[in-house]
Amino acid sequence: MDKTNRNVQKLLDRELLSKEQEMGIRNYFSQGIFSLRNELLFLMYLSVLLFTSGVGILIYKNIDTIGHSIILLVMLALTVVCFYFSFKESKGFSKEDIDFENPIYNYLVLLAVILSCSFMGYIQFQYAIFGNYFEISIYISAFIALASAYYFNNKSALSIGITALVTSLGISLTPRTLINNDVYWNENLSYYGLLLGLIIVLWSVHSKKIGLKKHFDLVLLTFALHLISICCIAGLINDIWVLFFFLMAGTCYFFYKKSFEIEAISIYIFTLLYGFIGFNVVIVRLLEHTDFEDFWELFIVILPVYFITSIVLFIKAIKNFNKKTNDSLQ
C-alpha cells in the first residue's frame, strides 16, 4: 500500500494525474478490493492440462477395448469442435494484442492445439502415414500451433509451436538438459540449434519493426536465449571452443541489452546464468593448457570465495536491474 501511495504521489507531482483521479485511486485501494482473475485463469489452464492428461491415461489403460481408429476419430472431432467455437468467437486476425471477450476461449484454443498435436503424433506413431519421416508430423503440428498463436493471439500456442520446431531438431529445453543434452555430443545439433535460435531472434526483430504481435517478443526471445545459449555451451566443450566463446559473449551482450529494453527480469537472470556457466567452461578449457598441479591448493582456497562472490554480485545485479527498470517507469 505504501508503494502504491508513493507511486500515486509521484504521478501527481509530475502532473500526470488530476486531484479527482488521485482521490479515485486512493479510494479504490482503501476498500481492499482484490481480483481473482489470475487465480481463475490459472485454474482454467490447469483444467486443460488435467483434461488432456486424463484423456491420455484413459486411452492408455483402455486401448485394447476402445481401438485406435475410434480414439483418433474422437480426438479429431474434439479438435474440430474446439476450433469451430474459437473461430466463431474470434475477432479475426490482428497485428495488435486483441483478445477474446471471454478469456475461456483462449483455453479452448490451447485445448484445440494440444489435441491437434496429439492427433498428429498418434496417427504417425500408429499408422506411419508419413513413413519414417516423423519430422513431417512435427512440422505440421508446429504449423498448426504457430498459425493458431498468431490468429487467436495465444502465447501458449506460440510456445507449443516453437517447442515443436526445437523438438524436430532433437534438442530438449528443460532444466535437466543443462547437464545432460544430446546437443553436447552432437556438433551438428549445435549448428542447427544456433540457426533456429538466430531465425527466432530475427523474426522477433522483424515482427517488432512491422508491428506484428509485439507482445510476443518475450516468448520469442526467451526460447531464443535458451536455445542459443545451450548450443553455445555445447560448442565450448568441442574443439572450436574459441569461436563459440565469442558467440556466447555476443549472445549474452545482446540479451543483456534486450532484457532492459523490454524490462524482462527472466531474460536478465538467465542471461547472467548462461554467461556464468559459459565463463566457467572457458576457465576450465584454459586450465587444460596449464600444469594444474602447481597451484591446485590455491585453487581449492579460492574456489569458495569465488562462488560466494559470484552469488553476491548476482544478487546486486538483480537489485540494480529492478532499480533501473523502476526508475524508467517513474
Q: For residue range 29-73, what is the model confidence (pLDDT) as tens digits?
A: 666 666 666 677 777 778 877 877 887 787 777 766 677 778 888
Q: Which residues of the chain have pLDDT under 50?
A: 1, 329
What residue type is assigned to position 122 of the chain? Answer: Y
Q: Please state, in angstroms and as integers, the Cα–Cα distance from residue 222 to each residue in 54, 148, 171, 227, 252, following that order.
A: 30, 20, 16, 9, 13
pLDDT tens track for 220-234: 999 999 999 988 988
**pTM of the prediction?**
0.79
Q: Quick one: pLDDT at residue 329? A: 46
Q: Quick one: pLDDT at residue 161? A: 94
Q: Quick one: pLDDT at residue 11? A: 67
Helix 217-236 vs helix 265-287: angle between axes, to the nearest 10 degrees?
Answer: 10
Label residues 79-113 b or e (16+ Cβ within 10 Å = b).
Answer: beebbeebeeebeeeeeeeeebeeeebbbbbbbbb
Torsion angles phi and psi, residue 28, rounded to 5: -60, -50
Report the alpha-carbon distance of residue 48 to residue 30 in Å, rounded: 36
Ramachandran region of residue 184, left (φ > 0), alpha (ψ -120 to 50) or beta?
alpha
Report the alpha-carbon distance of residue 204 to residue 261 in Å, rounded: 13
Single out the residue of 173, 176, 149, 172 nearest to residue 160, CA to CA: 149
The three three-digit cell numbers of residue 172, written as one number: 530438449
Q: Quick one: pLDDT at residue 142? A: 93
